[in-house]
Amino acid sequence: MVAGEVGEPLEFKIGEEAWLDAKNVKLKTLSPKLTKQRLGPFKVTKKISDRAYRLELPPTMRIHNVFYVGLLSKVKRDKKRNFENRPPPVTVDGEEEYKVEGITDMEERNRKWFFRVKWKGYGSEENTWEPRENLKNAEKILEKFEKEMKKKALGAAKALRGGAVL
């Protein structure tokens, strides 16, 4: 049952997982693209009433953990595919951050460098372009990427000098 619908509300069992509608949840994220329409899935820990359930939320989400059933939806598992739980953001200096798995590309825009970020636990379709200042806690990954790029550029320059055909 969704807010405004007439009929029987959804029922959840204790221990079952549920998606939480993100429309009323304010999260500080590095990129709005990472904020999904649904959060979770989260484990149902208690049935408060026919219309409200308590969820087990990560400690980084500092919100009340009881939700109206209209904000919850069932988790459908695909038996053929392993379901990948997305890791929640971690709190650093009071702001929620996602872990960087790697840097896949870089480009300059208006004299400012942007890096294509692969987020840990997320598919490549959710990679985002981020300015360097958003990647303060990924300095080692950035340094490794820049070192690899310099190595590639040097190799290409040597090949050109030697008359090699690329």
Residue 60 has pLDDT above 70, yes or no: yes
Domain ranges of the chain: 17-74, 99-159
Amino acid identity, position 133: E
- Over residues 151-159, mean pLDDT: 78
23, 46, 49, 19: which is closest to 35 by C-alpha? Answer: 23
User: Which residues are CB-neighbours of 48 under 8 A, at least 6 positions away?
Assistant: 54, 66
pTM of the predicted protein model: 0.46
Handedness of CA 91, 30, 73, 124 (dihedral sign): negative
CATH entry, 99-159, from 1.10.260.40, 3.20.20.80, 2.40.50.40, 3.60.120.10: 2.40.50.40
pLDDT in tens, 36-56: 677 878 899 999 999 999 999
SS3 state at 147: helix
